[in-house]
Amino acid sequence: MSIVFHPEISDYYKDMLELADAHRAKTLVDPTKKAQGMRKACVRKRHGKTEIRCVNYAVTEQKKDILRRTDMPLDTITTTNPYRFKIDTKEFDPNERVKKSRDETLPEHVRNEYSEPFDFNDIRKIFNAFATKYNFDMPMFSLRKANRPLKDIRHFDLALIPQIMGCTMHDWTSSGGCTYCYVDANSNTPTTPNWGIWLGVENMLQTVKELREDPSIRGGLELHRIRVSGGCPTTALDFVRELAETIETEGIEELYVQFDTNLSTAKFIKGMVKEKKYDKDILSSLGGLGVCSYVAFKGTTRENIIHNTQADVSVEDQLEALGMLVDNDIQVLPCIYNPDYKTFPDFIDKLNENFDNASKLLRVEAIKWDYEPTKARIKCIADAIHVPVEYLFSAYKTEESLNYQKCEEFMLHYIGNKYGLPYKQFDRTQYAIVRNDDLPSSSVRRRPPGFQSLE
**DSSP line for 65-108:** HHHTTS----BTTTTB--EEEEES-GGG-HHHHHHHHT-TTS-H
Q: What is the pLDDT of residue 9?
A: 75
CB distance 329 to 288 below 8 Å: yes
| Nearest alpha-carbon partner for 390 in 114, 13, 122 | 13
pLDDT tens per residue, range 320-367: 999 999 999 999 999 999 999 999 999 999 999 999 999 999 999 999
Which residues are within 8 A (CB) of 357 and not within 5 positions of it... i.e. 6 or more apart? 431, 432, 433, 434, 445, 446
pLDDT at 284 over 90: yes
Higher pLDDT, residue 131 or 441? 131
pLDDT tens per residue, range 364-395: 999 999 999 999 999 999 999 999 999 999 99
Confidence of residue 436 (pLDDT cuts 50, 70, 90): confident
Q: What is the pLDDT of residue 220?
A: 76
Q: What is the pLDDT of residue 218?
A: 64
pLDDT at 4 over 80: no
Q: What is the pLDDT of residue 2?
A: 53
**What does the alpha-carbon distance between residue 374 and residue 36 come to, in Å, rounded to a whole number?**
26
pLDDT at 46 over 80: yes
pLDDT at 91 over 90: yes
- DSSP code, position 369: -
Q: What is the pLDDT of residue 214?
A: 85
In this structure, what are the phi and psi dihedrals at residue 83, rounded to the nearest 5 degrees? -130, 155
**Which residue ranges make up each domain of the chain?**
11-88+136-438
pLDDT at 254 over 50: yes
Q: Which of 141-145, 220-224, 381-385 has the lowest mean pLDDT?
A: 220-224
The pTM is what? 0.93
CB distance 57 to 63 below 8 Å: yes
Q: What is the pLDDT of residue 85?
A: 93
| Nearest alpha-carbon partner for 179 in 267, 307, 62, 93 | 307
**What does the alpha-carbon distance between residue 359 and residue 349 come to, in Å, rounded to a whole number?**
8
Residue 43, helix vs strand vs coil: strand
pLDDT at 452 over 80: no
Length of the chain counted residue by residue: 455
**DSSP line for 253-301:** TT-EEEEEE-S--HHHHHHHHHTTSS-TTHHHHHHHTT-EEEEEE--SS
CB distance 432 to 371 below 8 Å: no
Packing angle of the helix pair 11-24, 389-419 (nearest 10 deg):
100
Distances from the Cα of 352 to the Cαs of 42, 302, 443, in angstroms?
A: 36, 18, 11
pLDDT tens per residue, range 25-38: 999 999 999 999 99
pLDDT tens per residue, range 192-208: 998 999 999 999 999 99
Percent of the chain with pLDDT over 70: 94
Q: What is the pLDDT of residue 442?
A: 36
pLDDT tens per residue, range 147-174: 999 999 999 999 999 999 999 999 999 9
